[in-house]
Amino acid sequence: MDGNLTLHLANFSTLFVCMVLKFPQIFALMRARATAGVSLNSLLLELLGFIVFMSYQMFYDYPPVTYLEYPILIAQDVIVLLLILHYNRNMKHSLIYAALFVGGWQLLTVQKWVIDLAMSLCTFISAGSKLAQLQCLWRSKDSGQVSALTWALATYTCLARIFTTIITTGDAQVLIRFVVMSILNMWVTVTVIYYKPHAVKQD
């Protein structure tokens, strides 16, 4: 009974956190009207990783509660993407990105081997997203408008998903992904915090 209660708490706390996960980042961008320190490549890779991961879970009929946050995260990432394109005056690219993501989403579930291959690459795609953000921070040495709170919340959701995956599906690919994402999210969080004083001093 206690185990079930802990599982429910982990599932619903993850869902709740994900409902507001990107809000600090969205508000930071809207407040500054600038995208300093935010990596577009990181966001695009993250979106791709989310789409692949959610498609895999749906394809194999995993319990919806184990991936219910992903439509919410995708919607929030799209808002962040539009803000970045808007403030960088690149809104014309939004239609290209939309066509690529929607087309790719449809192709993922055409054949079983396609979704299995995509999932096997998903950890590398998602890891690439975090490394692209880290590279952007290392290059600029300025965390600018990057929200440490968003990355800290992302770390929590990945840690919670390690627990729920072990209890529910035990899928090794999914588990490895969450372990790697937890480590990289923590790394980005620490890096954002480290460079924040530099950003303040430059203002």
Tens digit of pLDDT per residue, the chain (203 long)? 466 888 888 888 998 999 999 999 999 999 988 888 889 999 999 999 999 999 998 899 888 887 888 999 999 999 999 999 999 988 888 888 888 888 888 888 778 889 889 888 988 999 999 999 999 999 988 888 899 999 999 999 999 999 999 988 888 988 999 999 999 999 999 999 999 854 444 33
Nearest to residue 144, comparing CAs of 27, 37, 23? 37
Distance of CA 37 to the CA centre of its chain: 16
pTM: 0.84
**How many CB atoms lie under 10 A from the CB of residue 89?**
7
State the Cα–Cα distance between residues 30 and 55, nearest whole angstrom.
Answer: 31
Task: Let me know the angle formed at the C-alpha of 108 by 105 and 110, rounded to the nearest 5 degrees.
Answer: 120
